[in-house]
Amino acid sequence: MRVLVIEDDVELAEAIGVGLRHERMAVDVTFDGTDGLEHALFTDYDVIVLDRDLPGRHGDEVCAELVDAGCRSRVLMLTAAATIEDRVDGLGLGADDYMPKPFAFAELVARLRALLRRAQPPLAPVLTCGELRLDPARRTASRHGQALDLGPKEFGVLELLLAAQGRVVSAEELLERAWDEMADPFTSAVKVTISRLRRKLGDPPVIETMAQAGYRITP
């Protein structure tokens, strides 16, 4: 999952970023509405965590502009105001969900994952291909009944390939969905991660390289 956090409280924003990365999400963090809007319009994020009271551009403006631009990212709005009127206003601007501060981090994670499910075509709760199984909710993967010890990027790449259901996924798409903005677009990170993943998955090989196109998993 690729997430953008737009929050002017630097300590809170960085804490959210660290926590979400521990949950194996790719996270970018910005601290004002202007920079956040530029990020949101440039990158195809799955979910945007948007503080309402932002410097530069108010969160309401950011949300409205994203809607006007046809942005497909789901928006979860945060605010210190917790009245029913505030929530109604936030949702009326086009936000998909709304959380008052302070909030429990576990609830934030649950809501982000719920928004991701709404943003994509329905998938089976457990992704499978032959003896290969991946449970996105429990963050576990196995093959031939044996648990796989996967790093965050390996897990993310495997999840994307299984979710594609046989479709070829380009290296560019893998880089965009499983890494954050600090990743060098000319890096060999995807190739190296695929190589490690193949070793951990064992034989017979299940990840197929399609020349000049990308990678896929087929039965």
**Domain limits of the chain?**
2-119, 127-217
Please report the pLDDT score of residue 122 as a whole number: 47
Query: What is the mean pLDDT of the segment spanning 188-211?
Result: 92
Does the pLDDT value for residue 66 go beyond 60?
yes
Query: What is the mean pLDDT of the segment spanning 18-38?
Result: 92
pLDDT band, very low/low/confident/very high, at 24 (cuts 50, 70, 90) = confident
What CATH number does domain 2-119 carry, 3.10.20.90, 3.40.50.2300, 3.20.20.140, 3.40.50.970?
3.40.50.2300
Among 50-54, 82-86, 151-155, which stretch is predicted with the lowest mean pLDDT? 82-86
How much helix, strand and coil, in percent to the nearest 5, is found in the chain?
40, 20, 35
What CATH number does domain 127-217 carry, 1.10.10.10, 3.20.20.330, 3.20.20.120, 2.60.40.3500?
1.10.10.10
Please report the pLDDT score of residue 178 as a whole number: 84
Query: What is the mean pLDDT of the segment spanning 154-158?
Result: 92
CA–CA dist 182, 28 (Å, integer): 8
Tokens of 215: 């990678």
Order of strands across the sheet that contains 74-79: 26-30, 2-6, 47-51, 74-79, 97-100
The answer to whether 162 touches 125, Cβ cutoff 8 Å, is no
Please report the pLDDT score of residue 155 as a whole number: 92
pTM of the model: 0.63
